Chains A and B, each alone.
Chain A
Amino acid sequence: DGGITQSPKYLFRKEGQNVTLSCEQNLNHDAMYWYRQDPGQGLRLIYYSQIVNDFQKGDIAEGYSVSREKKESFPLTVTSAQKNPTAFYLCASTLAVSYNEQFFGPGTRLTVL
């Protein structure tokens, strides 16, 4: 089955530690996205990538970093510079930036203690 996988579903880290969230897709999509969602709020865009080896900052990129070395993978690192990292993180992909439908993964809930 084609789709987007995010692992792990729940992640706990101590304050000050960097943590990397995984996002993999086997849909052969060019564009991939990372969003953050806080309780009762909509999604906010962190980073997006239109193609391999290229990525752009979204609205709230500070304290985060990404890489896009392979078409199917777009890992997100939450660094110690992110002031409030506890949130629900969602990865999405689409055939191309111009394509209308984004497909979302199941999300990773990160809790920083």
Chain B
Amino acid sequence: DAKTTQPNSMESNEEEPVHLPCNHSTISGTDYIHWYRQLPSQGPEYVIHGLTSNVNNRMASLAIAEDRKSSTLILHRATLRDAAVYYCILRDGGYYGGSQGNLIFGKGTKLSVKP
């Protein structure tokens, strides 16, 4: 399985942008890059995903390196509610059956937001 590497923890100040990095040097051509976040004692929540191009949605932006070996989740203005564990996950989009399409969660990055 393709693996990701994320820092264990990061800190941010409220209302400042946050850049959460993820390395995935063994990514394959059919792997999608997914980001989920998990607030304390809750289930994970989908944030964003992408394949090659940068992506934007109401929650965040995803910047993908040209060689696809790294990506960055960008929260444009951190709020206290953004304090969570953020997971960067590779998901094989090239096979629509079996376990290859399943999400594999690592330990993620714990983001703390200071007022």
Binding site for B on A (CB under 8 A): 4, 33, 35, 40-45, 48, 50, 56, 58, 88, 90, 92, 96-98, 100-107, 109
Q: Which residues of A contact B108 (CB under 8 A)?
A: 42
In the assembled complex, the Cα of A102 lies from the Cα of B97 at a distance in Å of 16
Most buried by A among B42, B91, B108: B42
Q: Is the CB of B102 within 8 A of A100?
A: no
Q: With A42-B87, A90-B43, A107-B41 given, is the CB distance from A102 to B96 under 8 Å? A: no
In the assembled complex, the Cα of A56 lies from the Cα of B93 at a distance in Å of 19
Binding site for A on B (CB under 8 A): 32, 34, 36, 41-46, 49, 87, 91, 93, 96-99, 101-108
In the assembled complex, the Cα of A107 lies from the Cα of B40 at a distance in Å of 11
In the A-B complex, list the 4 residue pairs whose CB atoms are closest, starting with the nearest: A104-B43, A42-B105, A98-B96, A43-B105
Q: Which residues of A contact B97 (CB under 8 A)?
A: 50, 97
Q: Which residues of B contact A96 (CB under 8 A)?
A: 96
Q: How far is the CB of B84 from chain A (nearest CB, A)?
A: 13
Q: Is the CB of A103 within 8 A of B46?
A: yes
Q: Which one of B49, B101, B105 lies within 8 Å of A97 (CB-CB)?
A: B101
Q: Is the CB of A104 within 8 A of B96?
A: no
In the assembled complex, the Cα of A3 lies from the Cα of B91 at a distance in Å of 23
Q: How far is the CB of B103 from chain A (nearest CB, A)?
A: 6
Q: Which residues of B contact A92 (CB under 8 A)?
A: 43-44
Closest residue of chain B to A99, judged by CB?
A: B101
Q: How far is the CB of A10 from chain B (nearest CB, A)?
A: 10
Q: Which residues of B contact A106 (CB under 8 A)?
A: 42-43
